[in-house]
Amino acid sequence: MDFKSLFNKSRSMDAKHPPTPKRKLQRSHTFSSGDELCRKDVSQSPKEMSHKKRLSFNKHIKSPVETVISDEEIDLSLLNKICFTSGVEGHATRSVAWKLMLGYLPLKKDTWDTKLKTVRQTYWSFVQDLVINPGAIQAPGDHPLSQDTASNWKSFFEENKVLQQINYDSRRLYPDISFFQLRTEYPCAVEGIGKLRERVENDNLETLEVKESRKGIQNLLKQKQGELFKSISVNEKANEAHWEVVERILFIYAKINKGLGYVQGMNEIIGPIYYVFGNDPNLEWRQHAEPDTFYCFTNLMSEIGDNFCKSMDHTQYGIQAMMTKLMTKLNRGDPELHANLIEKNIDPHYFSFRWITLLLSQEFFLPDLIELWDVLFSDEIRFEFLYDICCAMLIIQRKAIIEADFGNTIKLLQHYPETPVTKIAHLAVEFRDCLMSKRKKSSRST
């Protein structure tokens, strides 16, 4: 099968996979018993409604994934294979499957309780130790003007600069659904830790920065941060919103991983993970969504963190190498489409930088993205299939890309048209198999 056959096949699949109807923002409503937190904020398509009815009639039948994760010793290879080919059904099953695929849960079930108790306590120890309240620590000689590297006050003000960006990004996480603005059932488990948002929002706290003039005179500069958040509504009656939980996780991650810190876009990676764990109908899992998300996010960042590190951009592990790999694959599978992009000077930075770095989290609605991540997390060679998915996305829009000029091509790729993820995934498998077939024929001929 060549690239033209793939393109024609993608067009023939349109009848089987019509474009997903545009989701309209609706009021959140709550499902009854067992799934109280699984609030839907978008209208369901007929396909989604049909899928939900099938699940309700077959609740007593275990899915293939449920069967695997119910074993005393998990066969991770089998779990990956099933998730890759069939996906995952239900928040409860997905929550456990992701924890396994991201290397958080051990494969032997009898070790889960001990492991989880230890790491969850460790996370809350991080929160206790790393969220500094300088006013509560009376250190001799420490004061708000101190320039001592060991000063709690100095660290406090420096952290506020990072926290301001984390706060802003966390607040605007997935604005098309209300989940992240809703009150969490399980706020911070550490007493005496104030809300991080209160450090940067409104005029309750002004960021203080000490600068020294040429004459050695220290000036205390006040930088008001309140204007930034005036347009963002906050439910003051809420004890703690879900986005504040995400904010705290990112803040702790940034403090522990100082070499990388926080980089804008990490909120798009952590959001879906916390959403899945925070909507787990199993209370035993849901109440620990915060520490579980922290560790799964940390494990995931250990694999894709180089994409966020600017100093790694032009190394063999950086984002530049990843984008080159994508374009090389496209050239092998569809040289005509690749040549068209090159001829129009379409730099892969314009679209693939975001696609790869954020694992396509900004290209799809959250429910669709979660299904796509089922496949990405279960990839035997982690995220190798991401390149095939990106190539499939380009091939699906092949005709529009070739006919468009520079400006319209950029617009199309930066605002990718709504397309069923099943269609993209199926075509990506075909694309991968096509390249493998070519490689085998080439090796035999040589």
Q: Please say if the pLDDT value at position 176 is more than 60.
A: yes
**What's the CA gap between 317 and 306, in Å, rounded?**
7
Average pLDDT of the chain is 80
**pLDDT tens digits for 308-318?**
998 888 888 88
User: Quick one: 168 and 285 in the same domain?
Assistant: yes
User: Quick one: 299 and 364 in the same domain?
Assistant: no
**How do strand 207-212 and strand 40-42 relate by DSSP bridges?**
unpaired
Q: By three-state DSSP, how is residue 241 classified?
A: strand
Q: What is the pTM for the complete model shown? A: 0.79
Q: What token pair was written down for 51?
A: 């899928």
* Mean pLDDT lowest among 2-6, 85-89, 95-99, 288-292: 2-6
The count of structural domains within the chain is 2
First-residue to last-residue Cα distance in the chain: 21
Q: What is the mean pLDDT of residues 247-271?
A: 95
**What's the CA gap between 436 and 329, in Å, rounded?**
11
Q: Please say if the pLDDT value at position 21 is more than 80.
A: no
User: Quick one: 268 and 316 in the same domain?
Assistant: no
Final residue of a structural domain among 241, 273, 308: 308
User: Quick one: 175 and 291 in the same domain?
Assistant: yes
Instruction: Please give the pLDDT value at position 222.
Output: 44
Instruction: Please give the pLDDT value at position 27.
Output: 30
User: Quick one: 296 and 234 in the same domain?
Assistant: yes
Examine residue 68 and state whether it is found in any structural domain, yes or no.
no
User: Quick one: 303 and 164 in the same domain?
Assistant: yes
Q: What is the mean pLDDT of residues 299-307?
A: 94
Q: Which residue has the higher pLDDT, 446 or 349?
A: 349
Amino acid at residue number 302? S
Instruction: Please give the pLDDT value at position 157.
Output: 73
Examine residue 207 and state whether it is found in any structural domain, yes or no.
yes
Q: Please say if the pLDDT value at position 11 is more than 70.
A: no
Final residue of a structural domain among 288, 308, 328: 308
User: Quick one: 351 and 273 in the same domain?
Assistant: no
**pLDDT tens digits for 397-434?**
999 999 999 999 999 999 999 999 999 999 999 999 99
Instruction: Please give the pLDDT value at position 232.
Output: 38
Q: What token pair was written down for 140?
A: 């001799």
**pLDDT tens digits for 48-66?**
444 444 444 444 567 899 9
**pLDDT tens digits for 358-379?**
999 999 999 999 999 999 999 9
Residue 353 near residue 319 (C-beta atoms within 8 A): yes
**What's the CA gap between 348 and 352, in Å, rounded?**
5
Q: Please say if the pLDDT value at position 443 is more than 90.
A: no
**What's the CA gap between 26 and 18, in Å, rounded?**
23
Q: What token pair was written down for 27?
A: 């009021």
CA dihedral 98, 102, 108, 113 (to 10 degrees): -80
Q: By three-state DSSP, how is residue 230 classified?
A: coil
Domain hosting 204: range is 109-308
**pLDDT tens digits for 26-35?**
333 332 223 3
Q: What is the mean pLDDT of residues 33-48?
A: 38
User: Quick one: 152 and 272 in the same domain?
Assistant: yes
User: Quick one: 330 and 344 in the same domain?
Assistant: yes
User: Quick one: 218 and 252 in the same domain?
Assistant: yes
User: Quick one: 300 and 382 in the same domain?
Assistant: no
Instruction: Please give the pLDDT value at position 227.
Output: 41
Q: What is the mean pLDDT of residues 40-44?
A: 40
Instruction: Please give the pLDDT value at position 236.
Output: 44
Final residue of a structural domain among 272, 290, 308: 308
Amino acid at residue number 78? L
**What's the CA gap between 7 and 397, in Å, rounded?**
9
Examine residue 101 and state whether it is found in any structural domain, yes or no.
no
What value, to the nearest 5°, has the Cα angle with vertex 150 and ends 147 and 155?
70
Residues in a beta bridge with 211: 219
- In order, the DSSP letters of 51-101 are HHHHHHHTTTSPPHHHHHHTSSB--HHHHHHHHHHH---SHHHHHHHHHHH
Residues in Cβ contact with 84 at an 8 Å cutoff, skipping those fewer than 6 apart? 375, 378, 379, 380, 385
Residue 38 near residue 91 (C-beta atoms within 8 A): yes
Q: Which residue has the higher pLDDT, 11 or 222?
A: 11
Instruction: Please give the pLDDT value at position 55.
Output: 43
Instruction: Please give the pLDDT value at position 53.
Output: 47
Examine residue 133 and state whether it is found in any structural domain, yes or no.
yes
**What's the CA gap between 428 and 438, in Å, rounded?**
15
Q: What CATH number is attached to the domain comprising 317?
A: 1.10.472.80
Q: Please say if the pLDDT value at position 329 is more than 60.
A: yes
Count Cβ atoms below 10 Å from residue 198 Cβ, excluding itself: 11
* Mean pLDDT lowest among 170-174, 184-188, 409-413, 439-443: 439-443
Report the percent of the chain where pLDDT is more than 70: 72
User: Quick one: 149 and 134 in the same domain?
Assistant: yes
Q: Which of 405, 372, 334, 388 is nearest to 84 (CA)?
A: 372
Q: What token pair was written down for 256?
A: 């522990």
Instruction: Please give the pLDDT value at position 192.
Output: 72
Examine residue 59 and state whether it is found in any structural domain, yes or no.
no
Q: What is the mean pLDDT of residues 280-298?
A: 96
Q: What token pair was written down for 146?
A: 């101190």
Q: Please say if the pLDDT value at position 19 is more than 60.
A: no
What single DSSP character describes residue 184?
P
